[in-house]
Amino acid sequence: MATAQQLKALLQSYSEADSEMFVSVALQIAAHEARTGKGKFALEIKKLVDEIKGKQRSSSLGESVPITRPTGELATLLSATYPHTKLAEMVLAPEQRESLELVIREYCQQGKLREYGLSARRKLLLVGPPGVGKTMTSWALAGELKLPHFTVQLHSLITKYMGETAAKLFAVFEAMRHTRGVYLFDEFDAIGSMRAGSNDVGEIRRVLNSFLQFLEQDDSDSLIVAATNLEEILDEALFRRFDDVIRYQLPTEIELRDLIANRLAAFKIDNKELREMASQAQGLSHAEICRACDEAAKVAVLDDRRKIAREDVQRAIRLRQERKRSVR
């Protein structure tokens, strides 16, 4: 039998705030029982403790995870925020929205999936041109799931000493296990193209291989999001290691219309004007049209106008189009 002291400690530690202590005392009792020859009873206690831990894990999914500021070496590798962005704020193609809603749905119910030996999709590769909402998607996933968002600082991660880079990568994957969150590898091609790069030496290859290995072994509760504009230079092996690859395109005319309407929601614009603006904006990214709208809105606000002048929006779009052509 457990000692009187152990039973007392077990009862004292029974509180939400001290569940770790509760589990630890229960395991001490199991160990004590095993030592006194009651191995079967010890195993039963251990099984009960595992069940409690499993319940705690799944009940904590869906609750807000308090933001923790990375410290020590991690402070240079991860930048932390707590975004409130929602998927509804994004203008997305129907298939993108469907994929992202599925990620959220599976994540929220991963306990249920686990009972059937299934795992939620957590490892996402986002590919598409600049300014189409890849980073915003990562924030929106964190916002929807009430998780902290960590952007992996690639300039700190990638050093000229490849062994060091792999060690830092390991530290990031360890952080994913300890602190549940959305971890974004932006400009992921910096890692993902290494194996296929022109200076394809063994050392460089090891970093990508380490990433592939860490990604495959990762069984944390964190979401891993890798984003790139350069799909074509990514190593082939990568695509298979992600649970989902979500592709982004420049906005269609209808999407441009929605973007302008959302961005200029504070002003009166009729549908005919919206259609004309969207048609003129074709070829711009989501980010570029948002900026053009903000530029036109600022002119209206400074002039104290409630109705935005069509000419202001058209001028801002034209300037964005010209700027785009000049950098090509």
- Decide whether 77 or 87 has the Cβ nearer to ligand ATP: 87
CB of 33 or CB of 143, closer to ligand ATP: 143
From the list 26, 74, 92, 300, which residue makes contact with ligand ATP (rule: CB under 6 A)? 92
Residue 184 structure tokens: 């974004």
| By the rule CB under 6 A, 197 interacts with ligand ATP | no
Q: Which is nearer to ligand ATP, 114 or 247 (CB)?
A: 247
* C-alpha to C-alpha distances, 1 to 38, 39, 187, nearest whole angstrom: 9, 12, 59
The correct pick among 25, 45, 74, 90 for binding ligand ATP (CB under 6 A) is 90
Please report whether residue 70 would count as binding ligand ATP according to CB under 6 A: no
The answer to whether the beta carbons of residues 152 and 234 sit under 8 Å apart is no
Which residue's Cβ has the minimum distance to ligand ATP? 133
Q: By CB under 6 A, what part of segment 228-267 binds ligand ATP?
A: 229, 259
Residues 6+ apart with CB under 8 A from 55: none
Q: Per CB under 6 A, does 151 bind ligand ATP?
A: no
Of residues 186 and 221, the one with the C-beta less far from ligand ATP: 186
Part of the chain binding ligand ATP (CB under 6 A), chosen from 6-14, 64-72, 90-98, 113-121 = 90-98
- Report in angstroms how near the CB of residue 129 gets to ligand ATP at its nearest: 7
Q: Residue 67 — φ and ψ, nearest 5°? A: -70, 135
Q: How far apart are CA 265 and CA 276, in angstroms?
A: 17
- Indicate the residue among 136 and 296 with the shorter CB distance to ligand ATP: 136
Shortest spacing between CB 299 and ligand ATP, in angstroms: 19
**H helix and E strand count, the chain:** 16, 6
Is residue 123 within a helix (H) or strand (E), and if so which, with residue range?
A: strand 123-127
Start-to-end CA span in the chain (Å)? 78
- Contacts to ligand ATP from residues 102-141, by CB under 6 A: 130-136
For ligand ATP, the closer CB: 135 or 179: 135
Other Cβ atoms less than 10 A from the Cβ of 110: the count is 20
172 binds ligand ATP (CB under 6 A): no
How far is Cα 186 from Cα 136, in angstroms, rounded to an integer?
Answer: 11
Of 144, 150, 143, give the one whose Cα is nearest residue 175: 150
Please check whether residue 97 is in contact with residue 87, taking contact to mean a CB–CB distance below 8 angstroms. Answer: yes
CB of 51 to ligand ATP, least distance (A): 41
Q: Are 180 and 147 in contact (CB under 8 A)?
A: yes
H or E element in which residue 78 lies: strand 78-81
For residue 218, the minimal CB distance to ligand ATP (Å) is 23
Q: How many residues bind ligand ATP (CB under 6 A)?
A: 17
Among residues 179 and 228, whose Cβ is nearest to ligand ATP?
Answer: 228
Residue 287 touches ligand ATP, criterion: CB under 6 A: yes
Between residues 252 and 279, which has the closer beta carbon with respect to ligand ATP? 252
Using the rule CB under 6 A, is 182 a contact of ligand ATP? Answer: no
Burial class (CB in 10 A: 0-12, 13-18, 19+), 29: buried
**Does position 67 bind ligand ATP by CB under 6 A?**
no
Residues near ligand ATP, by CB under 6 A = 90-92, 130-136, 186, 227, 229, 259, 286-287, 290
